Structure 1
Amino acid sequence: MSVTPRRRRAAAAAAVLAAGLLLTTAACGGGGGGKKAGDDAAGTSGGKVTLTFWDWDPNMDKVVAKWNAGHPDIQVRLSNPAGGDQLVAKMITAHEAGKGPDLAKVEYQSLPALVAKGVVRDITGYTADTVAAYDRNTLRSTVFQGKVYGVPQDVAPLMLFYRTDLFARYGLKVPTTWDAYAATARQLRTVAPKAYLTNFDAADPGWFTGLAQQAGADWWAADGDSWKVDIDGPQTRKVADYWQRLVTAGDIAKNPSFSPQWNKQMNDGTLLTWISGAWAPAQLGGIAPATKGKWAVAPLPAWTPGDTTTGIWGGSATTVTADSDHPAQAARFASWLNTDDAALTAQVRQINVYPAAEGGRALPVLRAAPAFFPNQPDFYAEVEKVAPSARSFPMWGPNVTVTFTGYTDGFSRALQSGGSFDAALSAIQSASTADMKKQGFTVG
């Protein structure tokens, strides 16, 4: 049987995504011949360069302004065309037209697909010094087949955010296990029938993915060119069944997060907790402005008492695209943004990131409370306690967008009809597997 171009591309992508998750010494700064970021900078070539940067972080313009003030020959023009999956789609469309930006923020789970499609550029030669700022596990999210495809920006362990004032008003204790969390949800409905401990969000799969990671799920695995998809495995079903019980009992709300209704509920005290990434303080000011100083952070409830394992929700890298005419200068900015002390300090203050770079986690700015949490000076100390136990999937699949769309469609239907969450997982499994086979991947 002849091998079609589509199958050749799929096989090549499989090789990159499967074998490429192992770091090599070259990717960790070993080996010779790599250029440092900025070796081809405008100051050397004599011309001024303007780089375009796609990023959705609030207040990133303030951080970029610091770079522009100190680098008159390499200016960065920031735009926010979309966020998350929408930005990925725009990057692919722009690349197909040859009109991509120079740099783009990309969530870790989306990077493998962009590598396979040739949208982002190998920047190994420009980051020989930069990669030394990261531990092996963090850097693994951006290294494929020994090549660096992005500079990690942040890590986002899942945490439990709760309203301290309302917990005190209703006599609630901060739950440390999922059994205690369910009991607290029931207790709250008894003492405050109009309030809910949280909501089940079928619109954004990020939080659910993190909960599956905490439970030990691995949705994708690869052996050579052969893939295994295990989205509806026992660990994820345990998570789905837990939340189905809470929804069915009416113990939690079931409207989507980040909607006008949810914003109002977060602001007026209808919802008492939010399971979110460590980046939540940067968002709460816009979501629930009346609640400043009323929230605190705690570790995510555990399945087994004393277990500190958590998942992640988000975490991103700054990538240089294949369309950039100035990859050295772009890589230099990406390195500065995510490893320079002043840049990271500005990001902590303006965006509330928890830095991916090891040195960034020791910055003095992390000894103070985020602006929206003035009541919790140990906020980042609490994050630091669980960060080493945060687990992601060992690898992300090549079609995460299909999987996430399946989550939104399947769980939304289940919420509306009272259908089975397990059935929704099975549908996601089938859709993700079928799409990979359609692309030419071997799925065993």
Structure 2
Amino acid sequence: MRRTTSRLLRGIALVSALALGVTACGGSDDASDQKVVSAGDVQAALDKGGDITVWAWEPTLRTVAADFQKKYPKVKVNLVGERSGDKHYTALSNAISAGKGVPDVAQVEYFALGQYSLTKGLTDLAPFGADKLATKYTAGPWNAVSDGDKVYGLPMDSGPMALFFNKAVFDKYKISVPTTWDEYVDAARKLHKADPKVYIANDTGEGGFITSMLWQAGSRPYKLDGTKVGINFDDAGAKKFEAVWQKLLDEKLLAPITSWTDDWYKGLGDGTIATLTTGAWMPANFVSGVPNAQGHWRAAAMPAWAKGDKASAENGGSSLAVPALSKNKELAYAFAKYANAGDGVAIRVAQGAFPATKSELESASFQNKKFDYFGGQEANKIFAESAANVTSDWTYLPFQPYANSIFNDTVGKAYVSGTTLADGLKAWQEASVKYGEEQGFTIEK
């Protein structure tokens, strides 16, 4: 997923419309219901032709769709791209529930895949040969789309995390780039003491960021085994994160500015927000949203929780999935594969998408690209290393959109009151457990 100024939502959804419930069923992807679909079957479908509808907001897919149609002139791709975030998932869930109007291909962010796969709303693509594509992708995205021997989507992009920092500000105040989170807290103190208007970062609380930070810290709050779900924010990794981030909150070292707002862009541009820890899809947003700071910013590895630790995490990223009610699954799979594992990958990367495929990440042309915005820095080398160091055993809840939607009512209170992060995470856990039980999940505490 590449953020743009026109797409400010990360898909934190309105759950009343999104949650399908464990008993809902929009189709079936059971192995007994699916036959093996050979490459010959897919090619025959391409030769015969037909129409497919693709719901996806990612702008590079427009070029991919046009190129796909040139290669396969009997196929018509109807790309519906005006919806994103909550509107996209609301429409998709409603169509699946109604059993009509379902697209043949849908863009689904990694954190939202579980709610559709568990309720049999998506086609298992393994019988089409998707399971043979595992080695093409980095561990984080592949883990997000697969469940045992089932594959519920093909990774489109990824968001290995990095630390973006304002070098001009760091140089002015003689601050070293932090390599650990403890050093990050020290840098935050020095910056704010030198100039009370300058903050190491902004943060008003956001579920996607917190889960990424927990991921890197080694916390594994969610466990999933079919309809059995474990939710526990009391592990060692969570405690590491809480200890560090609580200091930043207690000492008021984080700017109380919400990301993707005008004030946020202003802070990134005038140096009052000095760092940003986020996914590698961010550079294009600096170019479009903070043009006045060109040359000031650089990228660095995400700070570690212990000196020398290389572990990273993902923040953002999407797949292309084939809904179980797709009327032309062979063509749908052919398009998804072309876009995410075929010639479409190079097309998308050339337009600024951040790849999930190893060959692109490891290529000299990708790694040696110089970013004018970052003073000529070859930032992709940092991003590619981060992608290689993402730990692959992270799991999202099958109702993660709902969990994210109640973040502000639970953990978010730690940002605006005397509630601690530990208490906020406990409240988030309890509210998520309650919802999961209401939806028919077996919660293992």
TM normalised by structure 1 equals 0.85
Q: Give 1:267 deviation, angstroms.
A: 2.2
Q: Secondary structure at the match of 1:175?
A: coil
Distance 1:37 1:190 in 2: 66
Q: Give 1:274 deviation, angstroms.
A: 0.5
Amino acid aligned to 1:76: V
**Corresponding residue number in structure 2 for 1:239:** 241
Equivalent position to 2:168, from 165, 169, 182: 165
Q: Secondary structure at the match of 1:176?
A: coil
Task: Summarize deviations over 1:187-223 as a string: whole Å, max 9, x none.
Answer: 1112222111101141x32221111011111111246
Distance 1:370 1:326 in 2: 42
**1:313-328 to 2 correspondence within 5 Å?**
313-328=315-330
**1:37-48 to 2 correspondence within 5 Å?**
39=42, 42-45=45-48, 47=49
Contact 1:200 1:247 in 2 (8 A): no
**Corresponding residue number in structure 1 for 2:210:** 208
Instruction: Report the RMSD for the aligned CA atoms in angstroms.
Output: 2.9
Contact 2:204 2:415 in 1 (8 A): no
Contact 2:158 2:316 in 1 (8 A): yes
**1:378-393 to 2 correspondence within 5 Å?**
378-391=378-391, 393=393
**Corresponding residue number in structure 2 for 1:193:** 196
**Corresponding residue number in structure 2 for 1:103:** 105
Distance 2:145 2:117 in 1: 10
Q: Secondary structure at the match of 1:417?
A: coil
Q: Give 1:59 deviation, angstroms.
A: 4.1
**1:258-337 to 2 correspondence within 5 Å?**
258-337=260-339
Distance 1:380 1:37 in 2: 37
TM normalised by structure 2 equals 0.84
Overall identity of the aligned pairs, in %: 28
Amino acid aligned to 1:270: T
1:139 pairs with 2:142: yes
Contact 1:53 1:104 in 2 (8 A): yes
Structure 1 residues 372 and 378: alpha-carbon distance in aligned structure 2, compared to 1, 3 A threshold: closer
| Unaligned stretches of 5+ residues in structure 2 | 1-20
Distance 2:195 2:184 in 1: 16
With 49-58 and 164-173 compared, the bigger mean Cα shift is at 49-58
**1:244-263 to 2 correspondence within 5 Å?**
244-263=246-265
Task: Summarize deviations over 1:264-289 as a string: whole Å, max 9, x none.
Answer: 21222221111001111132233322
Q: Give 1:336 deviation, angstroms.
A: 0.9
Task: Summarize deviations over 1:10-51 as a string: whole Å, max 9, x none.
Answer: 4899xx99xx9xxx9xxxxxxx94422872555432x4x332
1:87 pairs with 2:67: no
1:117 pairs with 2:129: no
Contact 2:182 2:244 in 1 (8 A): no
With 103-112 and 281-290 compared, the bigger mean Cα shift is at 281-290
Structure 1 residues 65 and 271: alpha-carbon distance in aligned structure 2, compared to 1, 3 A threshold: farther
Contact 2:46 2:331 in 1 (8 A): no
**1:149-160 to 2 correspondence within 5 Å?**
149-160=152-163
Q: Give 1:60 deviation, angstroms.
A: 3.7
Distance 2:38 2:182 in 1: 53
Q: Secondary structure at the match of 2:295?
A: coil
Structure 1 residues 187 and 86: alpha-carbon distance in aligned structure 2, compared to 1, 3 A threshold: farther
**Corresponding residue number in structure 2 for 1:67:** 68
Q: Give 1:85 deviation, angstroms.
A: 5.1
Contact 1:108 1:316 in 2 (8 A): yes
Contact 1:406 1:427 in 2 (8 A): no
Amino acid aligned to 1:268: D
Q: Give 1:302 deviation, angstroms.
A: 1.0
Amino acid aligned to 1:379: A
1:36 pairs with 2:39: yes
Contact 2:162 2:280 in 1 (8 A): yes
Distance 2:333 2:113 in 1: 16
Distance 1:384 1:37 in 2: 35
Q: Give 1:117 deviation, angstroms.
A: 2.4
**Corresponding residue number in structure 2 for 1:229:** 231
Distance 2:255 2:374 in 1: 28
